Structure 1
Amino acid sequence: MANHKSALKRIRRNEAVRLRNKYQHKTVRNLIKKLRGTEDKKAAEELLPGVISKIDKLAKKNIIHKNKAGNLKSSLTKRVESLA
């Protein structure tokens, strides 16, 4: 167990940050799932900018890797464009 006051604070802070990152990541995963499940092109086109914005925010905060963010945005855009 940690002996220093700063180490104890860091443990508490790390847990809070971990939970916040987990929440944000799960929220984006749910949005992606919702977008992929959408069959209506108009609805998907309305959802896409918001989802891309959230993915960019995750990448900016290093919650997900920037290349993964790019791959997700690319695949989602292709999916929306392929809808009839």
Structure 2
Amino acid sequence: MPNVKSAEKRMRTNEVRAERNRQFRSRLRTALKKVRAATTAADATPAFREAASLLDRAARKRIIHPNKAARAKSRLTVKIAALG
């Protein structure tokens, strides 16, 4: 347990932010799985738009690395092109 009051607050805020990031990361992974599980390009396109939006938001908030977001979007685009 921290001895300093500001360290106590920092610990509390870190827990809140970690939980928020964990929920967002879970939502992102689910969206990516939906795109990968799509069997037609028509199914994959709306799922991709949602996933791309979440990837961009995660990269902007530094939940994931920006290059990882770009790489994931690129790979998903290639997958959708192969379906269509």
Q: TM-score, normalised by structure 2?
A: 0.95
Correspondence for 1:60 = 60
Stretches of structure 1 lacking an aligned partner (at least 5 in a row)? none
For 1:42 and 1:73, the matched residues in 2 are separated by: 17
Letter in 2 for 1:59: A
What is the Cα deviation at residue 55 of structure 1?
Answer: 0.3
Stretches of structure 2 lacking an aligned partner (at least 5 in a row)? none
Percent sequence identity over aligned pairs: 38
More displaced, 15-24 or 37-46? 37-46
- Indicate the SS of the match to 2:72: helix
Mapping of 1:5-16 within 5 angstroms?
A: 5-16=5-16
Letter in 2 for 1:61: K
Letter in 1 for 2:66: K
How many residues matched? 84
Correspondence for 2:18 = 18
Correspondence for 2:2 = 2
What is the Cα deviation at residue 34 of structure 1?
Answer: 1.1
For 2:30 and 2:51, the matched residues in 1 are separated by: 10
For 1:46 and 1:52, the matched residues in 2 are separated by: 10
What is the Cα deviation at residue 28 of structure 1?
Answer: 0.5
What is the Cα deviation at residue 37 of structure 1?
Answer: 0.5
Tell which has more relative contact order, 1 or 2 (C-alpha 8 A, sep 6+).
1
